[in-house]
Structure 1
Amino acid sequence: MSEIVVRPLETMAEYTAAEEIQHITWNMPDLEIIPAHALHAMQHSGAALLGAFDGERLVGFTFGILGTVDVPGRIDPVAAARLKMYSVIAGVLPEYQHQNVGYRLKFAQRDFAQRIGVRLITWTYDPLESRNGRFNIGKLGAVCHRYLRHFHGDMSGLNAGLQTDRFEVEWWVTSQRVAARAAQKWRPLRLESLLAGGALLVNEATFDNGLPLPPPNYVSRPSNLMLVEIPTDFQAIKRADLALAQRWRQHTRDIFEGMFDSGFLVTDFVSHEDPNGRPRSYYLLAHQDS
């Protein structure tokens, strides 16, 4: 692998290569991908279409469009007062994952947004996908206080029969929090330190045949810092036991909707290995008034 270069896509061959990355990375059928001609047209009209190149080969890309923040009851005479970027999709070929390619693409998207005067980028992802949680919340410094039920409607494949709930995250690109991540000054938090400091674990999982089970109930008493456990490998649960995946969806939906309604904000992500050597994953939430 030569040095990866991040730059805008420029040719129809590169737009077509972005189609293939959608197929490979997300296993998307033809009807669901964003076609090359649409990517080109939207980039021409100001969208952020950035690629990671190994030599001349496109190995990953990120695509963002301009939008506006919905503020009910508020009318702004100038649309720029509510301007944001919506990050539609990002993907990296499997053989280039875990090599900071996605990280570089997102921070190139941040640079693009700053150059045009946009402070906020939003996107959605499945909150039960721990790898994405660690990347979006932990490594990038996004935050979340909005839960979207069944956002994409019914889907096929491993998602068939499972509600497509999503976190809508906010990435405030000019914040000190994000600047620290850009400088790679973020250090993963330790579960033991958080618990010793008074953080409250809401929903400790148990295990059966190697699969994590959500508890029948969860802790609801208030604390300024709350930890919510999610499966470390939700894809494995979907393959092994759809009913269990549905239980995790409903369980965490109830928790996050209730906590967001009570003023909590997802602020970080915690990875942990328990005494039995099992990987565990948690979101850290803080009350916005604390």
Structure 2
Amino acid sequence: MTTPAEFEAADRLQRRVWGIDTGSTPVPGEVLNAVSHSGGYVAGALADGHLVGISASLVALHADTREVFLWGHMLAAEHRDAGIGHALMLGLRTWCLERRITSARWTFDPLVSRNAYFYLVKLGVDVLAYVPDFYGPLDDGVNLADESDRLLVTWPMDSCHDRERTGYAGNTAYDPGEWRPLLSIDERGRPKVHPRGGDNRMACAVPLDIEAVRRQDPVLARSWRRALRECLSEVLDGGGRIVGFTRCGQYLLTARGTLA
């Protein structure tokens, strides 16, 4: 995407995806223009001639390691479960490898289960850190002023192909006897935090549709934010790893030194 008309279409798409009527979009057209013309990656997905998805990323240089990588700033798709995001990420990978860029980093909301499954299982990213309130409160039609906690992930594109992250990560269910619950959903849809104990394999549940929870019960959504922050941060800060995500909405985690 390189032209003003394309960036205007990208603005309109963002308004539809994030439910924004007035004010700025998450990545305004003039910013997309700057990214595109400074060597970054801005691409759109078309269906029947209409823009239905967009991906925007910056080429970055790590200050300490001097590694060149791609920073994924935005991925938006108008229709869920239509393969738009997947197509955009495959295009991104091809673009990077043609330029000898072998890794990308980005963040995503750990409460959004469909994104967790897509990134952790279908793409096979690795989680680097849990970052509380990464952007500050985001007051749009999706986030509804919730705190913007994010998982920071890296995608090694030179060796990564479409695959399940591990042999169990893509299963529609998991054996509760093998994964001790750290966070579960009680009978009223509320988060229930469990003592960690000494288990090496743990599971953290999240709602299957946190966006609906935010609309219907913002207080409940905030309680989910705090509970998941507590559980994931405890494991990751202690050297543990997120090794998978199930279709039924469970993060699968291992303690430090535990093989998946």
Provide TM-score, normalisation by structure 1: 0.79
> Match of 2:54, SS?
strand
Within 5 Å, which residues of 2 pair with 1:91-170? 91-94=76-79, 97-157=80-140, 159-160=143-144, 162-170=146-154
Q: Percent identity among equivalent residues?
A: 24
Q: Which of 151, 169, 179 in structure 1 is aligned with 2:161?
A: 179
How far has the Cα of 1:186 moved from its partner? 9.6
Give the match's secondary structure for 2:197: coil
Instruction: Say if 2:37 is the partner of 1:37.
Output: no
Deviation at 1:187, TM superposition (A): 7.3
Give the Cα separation in 2 of the matches to 1:161 and 1:51. Answer: 28
State which drifts further: 227-236 or 24-33: 24-33
Out of 30-39 and 136-145, give the one that drifted further: 30-39
- TM-aligned CA distance change 1:263 to 1:36, over 3 Å: same
Decide whether aligned partners of structure 1 residues 191 and 161 sit closer, same or farther in structure 2, where only a CA change above 3 A counts. same
CA contact (8 A) 1:62 1:90 kept: yes
Could you say what the CA RMSD is over the residues aligned between the two structures, in angstroms?
2.4
* SS state at 1:181 partner: coil
Q: Whose radius of gyration is greater, 1 or 2? A: 1
Residue in structure 2 matched with residue 286 of structure 1 by the alignment = 254
Residues 259-270 of structure 1: pairs in structure 2 closer than 5 A = 259-270=235-246
SS at match of 2:93: helix
Matched residue SS, 1:20: helix
Closer, same or farther in 2 for the Cα pair 1:186/1:69, shift >3 Å? Answer: farther
Q: Which residue in the other structure is 2:44 paired with?
A: 51
1:85 to 1:264, Cα distance in 2 relative to 1, 3 A: same
Q: Which residue of structure 1 aligns with residue 17 of structure 2?
A: 25
Task: Name the one with the larger helix percent.
Answer: 1
Report the CA distance between 1:102 and its aligned residue.
1.0
| 1:14 counterpart = 2:14 | no
How many angstroms does 1:237 deviate by?
A: 1.6
Contact 2:201 2:254 in 1 (8 A): yes
User: 1:192, 1:23 → 2: CA distance?
Assistant: 37
Q: Deviation of residue 190 (structure 1)?
A: 4.3
- What CA deviation, in whole Å up to 9, does each residue of 1:154-180 have, x standing for no partner? 2325644532211112111123xx314
Aligned to 2:184: 204
Unpaired stretches in structure 2, ≥5 consecutive residues? none
2:149 is aligned with what amino acid?
D
8 A contact 1:203–1:219 mirrored in 2 = no
**Distance across 2 between alignment mates of 1:55 and 1:237:** 33
In structure 1, runs of 5+ residues without a counterpart are 1-8, 273-280
SS in 1 for 2:9: helix
Distance, in Å, in 1 between the alignment partners of 2:158 and 2:200 is 26
Cα deviation, residue 88, structure 1: 0.8
CA deviation digits over 1:105-147, x for unaligned, max 9? 0111111111112222111121111111111212221121311
SS of aligned partner of 2:174: helix
